[in-house]
Amino acid sequence: MNSRRGLSVLLALCLVLGGAVLLHAHEAHATPHVHVYGPWQTILEPTCTSAGQRVKVCIAGDDAIYESIPALGHAFGAWGPGEPATCFAPGYTKRTCSRCGAIETNPIPKLSHVFGPWGPGEPATCFSPGYTKRTCTLCGTVETNPIPKLNHVFGPWGPGIAPDCYNSGTTVRQCSLCGTKETNYVPALGHSFGAWGPGLAPTCTNPGYQIRTCSRCGIQETKHINPLGHTWGPYLPFDAPTCTRWGSEVSTCGVCGEIRSRGIPELGHLWGPYIQTKAPDCTNKGAETRTCARCGDTQTRSIPAKGHKSDENWVIVRAPDMSKPGLKITTCLVCGKYAKTQNFAPRGYRYEVKTQAFGIPADQVNPTLRGRSERFIYLDLKTDSTLVIPLVTQDNYKIGEATIMVTSGGVTVSLSKDSSPTLLRYRTWHMFSDPKDIRPQDLKAASLPFDQIVFGNGDSALIHITTTSNYYQGNENKPFSAQSPSTLGQFTWAEVVADMISAIRD
């Protein structure tokens, strides 16, 4: 409130002085100004703990001087009671400032206990310690002094439970202070056996035993005696051996009469010399027999046929054709039958030649087929088409064609010959949907039907076509080259195969 009134006075004084300054402004440039200050005005009253502030202002209103007013300090009264000291906590006295009400304290130290003499508390026993006690006359606090636990005072050991052969016994002693009993264990005595006596006598094959008895408790203990074993006599003949059957001989135990036997090996035959019983001829074996001198058994063995004696005059008995080669013979001078035979054929005739439709080598289809000679043809089953593939022999002659028709995902295979006399035998074809599934044993499976539609499994397939041919190397049958033009446009057969390999890998 005082600071607000001081500020109002200062503000009014500035307005009066400001008017004077305007009246004399025209003289300011001519005469130097000397500050003339008014009286001090308090703008902040001091307190017990904080300084105040006052100001005086030049009558011209252009300057002011500020000055701090010191704090007043507390105005404490006399010391009076506060909190009394006890044995457990210090106390204090206090005084109060009449100006601001602040309280100042003066500490009183904590009191010390004033104990009386030691008196009885809890007596010590054999099981727990005791104590004496004394009491503070100021606060009633009790202080204790421990008495150690007592030790037992045992008497001499006396009888408890007597031990026997199986069970341990005890002795006992007692504390004269508290009556506690302490037990000492005595081990079991164990048996006191006499000498071994007769029980059951052993035999050749059965064990026996001996007995002894405990003199204290009467229990009996047995001792095992092993069987005596047989006392065997010498082996004597029982069943004589023969040439082909074992015999036997026996031995008898002199104690119990038990009999044992052992075998005598068969004697084996006493063979005489072989005597011819059937003479051999050119084509039939002969025979000779020998007889055992002991049992009369016989043994026969064959005599090799003598073989024909050829007249070396070759005669043709069958002319060659494409179904089979020709045959010529010589005659035996002894029996008149064929002595020698020989197949023959004109130059260029070939029989039983492995033949297959030209295509991708096996190891380009599946690496597990490396080293095999089969070839495969790739087919796109999504597109209807007709392929005419050459049939090529193992000795590299083209002797015919395989016509492969793809219709609505199905495959029809037909074979044709370039030369009418050619024979195609043992025809087979197989179809596979995945190159990884082809195994060597699958190529020996039964053939799919020729000239009939067979449906594939998937969008593409690989087929293998093979046959065995009899053919003539000439006329319509020509040597084959992979570089020759194909029937599939302006490509060689090698280029056709390369395209098939790319289709597989795509």
333 and 478 assigned to the same domain:
no
Q: What are phi and psi of 39, to 5 degrees?
A: -70, 165
CB 300, CB 275: distance < 8 Å: no
DSSP-derived secondary structure letter, 46:
-
381 and 489 assigned to the same domain:
yes
Q: Are strands 360-361 and 375-380 parallel, antiparallel or unpaired?
A: antiparallel
In 139-195, which ranges are E strands? Answer: 142-147, 158-159, 169-174, 181-186
Asked if pLDDT for residue 177 goes beyond 80, the answer is yes
Cα–Cα distance for residue pair 412/452, rounded to 1 Å:
5
358 and 468 assigned to the same domain:
yes
339 and 454 assigned to the same domain:
no
451 and 417 assigned to the same domain:
yes
403 and 331 assigned to the same domain:
no
Any domain includes 299: no
Structural domain range at position 325:
315-344
> Confidence band (pLDDT; 50, 70, 90) for 173?
very high
Any domain includes 333: yes
User: Which amino acid is residue 460, in one-letter code?
Assistant: S
Helices within 346-483 (DSSP H only): 362-365
User: Which amino acid is residue 489, in one-letter code?
Assistant: G
End residue of a domain, out of 69, 86, 107: 69
In 140-235, which ranges are E strands? Answer: 142-147, 158-159, 169-174, 181-186, 197-200, 208-213, 220-225
- pTM as predicted: 0.44
Any domain includes 193: no
359 and 378 assigned to the same domain:
yes
499 and 369 assigned to the same domain:
yes
Asked if pLDDT for residue 170 goes beyond 70, the answer is yes
Secondary structure (DSSP) of 89-104:
S-EEEEEEBTTT--EE
Cα–Cα distance for residue pair 352/357, rounded to 1 Å:
16
CA count, 13 A, side-chain hemisphere, 261: 10
Any domain includes 239: no
pLDDT above 70: percentage of residues in the chain = 94
325 and 364 assigned to the same domain:
no
436 and 486 assigned to the same domain:
yes
Cα–Cα distance for residue pair 464/409, rounded to 1 Å:
17
Query: 82: part of which helix (H) or strand (E)?
Result: strand 80-83
Q: What are the tens digits of pLDDT across the range 88-98? A: 889 899 899 98
Any domain includes 221: no
Q: What are phi and psi of 9, to 5 degrees?
A: -60, -45
Cα–Cα distance for residue pair 384/37, rounded to 1 Å:
125
500 and 415 assigned to the same domain:
yes
Range in 20-24, 309-313, 437-441 with the lowest mean pLDDT: 20-24
Q: Domain count of the chain?
A: 3
49 and 20 assigned to the same domain:
yes
CB 55, CB 67: distance < 8 Å: yes
> Confidence band (pLDDT; 50, 70, 90) for 494?
very high
pLDDT at 400: 97
End residue of a domain, out of 344, 361, 382: 344
Any domain includes 197: no
Q: What are phi and psi of 331, to 5 degrees?
A: -110, 145
Q: What are phi and psi of 444, to 5 degrees?
A: -105, 5
pLDDT at 143: 87
Any domain includes 469: yes
In the 3-class helix/strand/coil scheme, how is 315-376 assigned residue by residue? Answer: EEEECCCCCCCEEEEEEECCCCCEEEEEEECCCCEEEEEEEEECCEEHHHHCHHHCCCCCEE
> Confidence band (pLDDT; 50, 70, 90) for 3?
very low
Asked if pLDDT for residue 10 goes beyond 50, the answer is no
Any domain includes 279: no
